[in-house]
Structure 1
Amino acid sequence: MLPGSSIGQHLVLTSFGESHGKSIGAVLDGCPAGLEIDEKEIQTMLDFRKPGQNLISTQRKEGDVVEIISGVFRGYTTGSPITMVIWNSDQKSKDYENLRTKLRPGHSDYPAMIKYNQYNDYRGGGRFSGRLTATHVMGGAIARKLLKVTLGIETNSYTTQIGKTKFEKKINKKMIENIYKNEVRCPDTNTAEKMRADIMNAKKKGDSLGGIIESVTTNVPVGLGEPIFDSLESNLSKAIFSIPSVKGIEFGSGFAGSELTGSQNNDLYSIKNGKIITTTNNSGGILGGISNGMPITMRIAFKPASSIAQKQITVDIKSKKKATLQVKGRHDPCVVPRAPPVVDSLVALTIADHALIAGKIKPVL
């Protein structure tokens, strides 16, 4: 196992596999015994993320069918490590033969080549491929179920920006129901159509687009987080930055808050139905690295997909000369529409881990 392949303290997810290897998979250790789990629940989240479903994603057609190998017996978790695997079936490794010596702009090829002395699997990005986010979803689907049945915690992530097209309305319950009813995972139908057109236009030009995902987690109890270095913000950020293409994250008012005064940015306390709340949520639900009971809100920036069809200038490491490269294969013109279930999963894994640390979730349900 490569260092860095696991995340979490009490609820530990270990990811394994490569993009064009025989399989990818996840081991989730620390899940309490007695949680009812069906492969269909995990499969539903994987289906939201999988490729080849529409014209705006890569046309690699993987079924992404999950198989639970251990840790679940008669439909319930046993308390032992839960091992899950997906067998790869639609690899076209020949598409990457021209990449053995030519470095792809925007990719991890060069640093990975140096770090692993050229023994790294370069096909489809190998260990660095976005395909590995399916392993996050496997573990995250279980964490999501654990949080919902024990604490009523729910996370909803959705697309708020593709390129320069933005969704700027305040989201409501009806909009949440629309997230997975369109290809770009935007809560607003009209904005979603514009975003799709932008992606298709970039694809026709052999180019790609980036965007922003917003994530809102509700019913989080007060007190989750272990300052200083394991604060809730610290661990959420670490988890989110494990997603390829993520280049930025902000909580609450985020960067915009730096333009405000303290009197504008402070969240004033109030009491509603006997419960202490804040009248605004510029903190994003976290103060001092600890949850304050308000919804945890995050915005996550994704760079444009690096694999594009246009010819680009690069370097041939064998000849040590400048070269041109046109990336072949099947690639997403925009990775953002496939990211919401991945963000949901990593948020759930992090919050469930902290809930276990804080004793909010008992070892046995």
Structure 2
Amino acid sequence: MKFNKTMMACSILMIGLIAAGCKKEKYISRDTSYLKPPPPDTTAPPVVDPTLITFDNADKADGWQTVGTPAIATTGQKEGAGYLKNTIASGSDFMQFIKDLSTPLDTKLTGNNGQFKFWWYVSDVSLLKADGSIEITSSGKSDDHESAWDVAPLIPTLKNGWNEIALNFSKAIKTNDGGADYSAINHFRIFFFTASKDHGDLVTGVDDLVFRAAPAPPPVVFDNADKADGWQTVGTPTIATTGQKEGTGYLKNTIANGSDFMQFIKDVTPPVNSSFSAADGRFTFWWYVSDVSLLKADGSIEITSSGKSDDHESAWDVAPLIPTLKNGWNQITLDFDKSIKTGDGGADYTAINHFRIFFFTQTKDHGDLVTGVDDLKFISK
């Protein structure tokens, strides 16, 4: 019996050892199908302005002049490896940075669409005097074939530290020889002053001098036609709240059968500064005409700075527009410099306070002609 128990124990032990020896070894699977790939990079690459042309990146002192020896700071720059830095110390009141190019630069821009842009460092704006100038020339020197901008109007817009300065060619002060040739720029200068010679050190610098096409300035709203306030028309002004081009409504009226005339008039207080000049400004609005074929080649679109028509007025005839119109909404865009002006010089574009459009049907026998205006504003060319 004792022998049998011993044999049984040995048998159980052998079975256990065999089972252990047959146990499957666990290995890390080579199957990677369960792994998720990293999410795609959706970061948009920086938009590169195709019109951008570098005048100088201020990474090297070559070709630069300033008060004393030109020095490139290699920390704190806005772009590249450095910037041109200098200090107006106590006892002095003047600084300038000048750069000459051995080969003139073709900006590929015009007096109407070009812009000169750079970064200007001023450690304490309160020390600046309202004086100085920023100049680009095609003569290799100042005051000859020069386009310039005064420093004084910029000072209220500056903050301590880096300031992006953007100067439109169209706003430049030009020498009597016509100003800079923008296809051959070879000279830059900025000079400026402190209000006195008794001051703490004023650290200044320039970086990343470039030319580019001037971005379009924001539009200036004359009226969005969302409310009837200040509007006049044939009968009572009515705002339609469906079908508008912008906002919550538009001014709508109908030339019914038996009539042949419509007008929309808007007076505003205070006057609106369009912010544009005769050379670069436009007046634009949406005009709804349900059936263009009914229109007569007559009428006018007017803006004035006198609060009434035919006085300090800039106007455009309706007749030339009719062939371009389609049934429904039409965006009307009118250049200031193509307007018909009253003998007093036309509208003052810094103080527009009156708008009128009037037009006619060819006859009084016609189906209802639904008309309207919306989204009246000033824009740049």
TM-score (norm 1): 0.24
Q: Could you say which structure has the higher helix fraction?
A: 1
Instruction: Flag the structure with larger Rg.
Output: 2
Scaled by the length of structure 2, the TM-score of the pair is 0.23
Structure showing the higher strand proportion among its residues: 2
Q: Which structure would you say has the larger RCO, counting Cα contacts within 8 Å and 6 or more residues apart?
A: 1
